[in-house]
Structure 1
Amino acid sequence: NKVKIPAGKTAKITLSFSEPKNGKASQFPIYSGFIVATPEKSNVAVHVPYTGLKGDVRQVPIMDTDIGFPGLAMVANDNKLAPIPDNFTFDFTKNKPVVQTRLGSHTPNFSIRVFDDKKVFQGYLYSDNAGPASMEWAGRQKNVDDQGKLVYSNWVWSGKVLPAANATAPVTLASGTYDIVVAAQKKLTKGSYPADFEIFDMGTIKY
């Protein structure tokens, strides 16, 4: 196709691309190429690269569920992780629950939310070792560290929450039963909770 652009002027050109037939949209393959613009009176062509992603980017998985994340465990005074027994009551002195997360892809918003036994939101989990589990943006975690160990996050909890994302200090919840929910916002969404989030209900914690 030819486009005539007078000297010293500009022109707006709109191009449309179709996804290639090869590659499964569920695997989100990346395709790329370039546009060539060749001046009529010159052999110096201009190359404009482009790239695209096949599939709906809003459906790209955030949490690394393929290897079992997120998870819920407990830690005792010996700092060893162990499964939580059925009908267990924590005392937050000898033992504490631990929420384990691993991000396989970046997310515009990551949080761990705490609800009471009536499903009323109490706040964002505040971890003893990692601080507030409420982030405006969280990046993908690399596979392994320098020692070859899998990289993931442990959020040790002792009953504290941030009552709001902009709160400056945590508060301690009264003894009771609480539901722990891990939430990661899907890409290219407005961030409406829970519709625009990956939601993982981790079950209840009693103390």
Structure 2
Amino acid sequence: KTVKITLKNEGKHTETYTLSHIPADALNSYNAHNSFPLATPIIEADYATVKFSADKIKIKGGKSAKITLKFTEPKKGKASQFPLYSGFIVATPKSKGGVAVHVPYTGVKGDIRKVPIMDTDSGLPLLQIVDKDDNFSDIPKNFTFDLKANKTAILTRLGSHSPDATIRVYEKATNKFVGFVDSENNGAAFGATGRNRDYESDGSFSFNTYIWSGQVFSTEDSTKTPVQLPAGTYVIEVASQKKFTKGKYPADFEVFNLGAVTIASL
């Protein structure tokens, strides 16, 4: 990748700057193609290289100059593991007593759009039953949620952020989209969402729970009033927009079809 930077001489006299590069070790959080990043990244002796349009540059006092930098990714790291590389670009003045300027940079090797979002290694996303005492259990075959003594629980865990993390509902018989989940505990299931932490402050496993009693938003507008779906069978889909995409559905989303649930009338 080629980048242009501007170096300004804030002094009154002409100064000559020598440009150099200080690389840092790469960090690998996806060394085993895991869906959730390692809590402690693996440090790898793998470095980016930088070529300058000029190794030295003379700038008059109060003036600026542009320099072109060409970055080359570290050679060893696999693009499929998304290693993070970084370092400093240094401009060192020739004059005695001059202070060198250190400009940090960071980059990722690989296609950011392919970084996993949902932590599938943990068996999520997942549908479950939650009862009135907040007990969770698997959904029996041919089960109908009465939305009073029991409700649908949608469990997710994000290993990386999503510009638009959605939970979508479709009518099973027609495959018609009927809306986005409006959960009792977490509200609208759409919008930008950050990644989950490794563990909660009490040491428990960190994940998201959306308690659903049949209400949906017809569009991604939480200022609207959600509507209650009639009794029927609906397919639940967890779809998270990939990073650096335009948000075209479903091509730009990581999609999981969780199957169908049957709900009764309230």
Name the counterpart of 1:11.
Answer: 65
In structure 2, distance between residues paired with 1:188 and 1:9: 36
Q: CA deviation at 1:168?
A: 2.0
Q: 2:203 aligns with which of 131, 140, 148?
A: 148
Mean Cα deviation higher: 33-42 or 68-77: 33-42
Q: 2:257 aligns with which of 196, 201, 206?
A: 201
| Matched residue count | 206
Give 1 or 2: higher strand fraction: 2
In structure 2, distance between residues paired with 1:70 and 1:151: 13
Q: Does 1:98 align with 2:176?
A: no
Q: 1:29 aligns with which of 70, 77, 83?
A: 83
Name the counterpart of 1:75.
Answer: 130
Q: 2:212 aligns with which of 143, 152, 157?
A: 157
Q: Which runs of 5+ in 2 are unaligned?
A: 1-54
In structure 2, distance between residues paired with 1:35 and 1:128: 50
In structure 2, distance between residues paired with 1:62 and 1:17: 27
TM-score by length of 2: 0.73
TM-score by length of 1: 0.92
Q: 2:231 aligns with which of 147, 165, 175?
A: 175
Q: Which amino acid aligns with 1:29?
A: P
Q: RMSD of the alignment, in Å?
A: 1.6
Mean Cα deviation higher: 159-168 or 40-49: 40-49
Mean Cα deviation higher: 188-197 or 22-31: 22-31
Q: CA deviation at 1:39?
A: 2.9
Q: CA deviation at 1:43?
A: 6.0
Q: CA deviation at 1:42?
A: 4.4
Q: Which runs of 5+ in 1 are unaligned?
A: none
In structure 2, distance between residues paired with 1:119 and 1:9: 64
In structure 1, distance between residues paired with 2:228 and 2:64: 62
Q: Does 1:2 align with 2:53?
A: no
- The residue correspondences of 1:123-134 to structure 2 (distance < 5 A) are 123-134=179-190
In structure 1, distance between residues paired with 2:122 and 2:141: 23
Q: CA deviation at 1:71?
A: 0.7
Partner SS, residue 102 of structure 2 = strand
Q: 1:50 aligns with which of 102, 105, 126?
A: 105
Mean Cα deviation higher: 155-164 or 37-46: 37-46
Name the counterpart of 2:36.
Answer: none
Q: CA deviation at 1:94?
A: 2.3
Partner SS, residue 210 of structure 2 = strand
Name the counterpart of 2:169.
Answer: 114
Partner SS, residue 113 of structure 2 = helix
In structure 1, distance between residues paired with 2:209 and 2:237: 15
Q: 2:244 aligns with which of 163, 171, 188?
A: 188
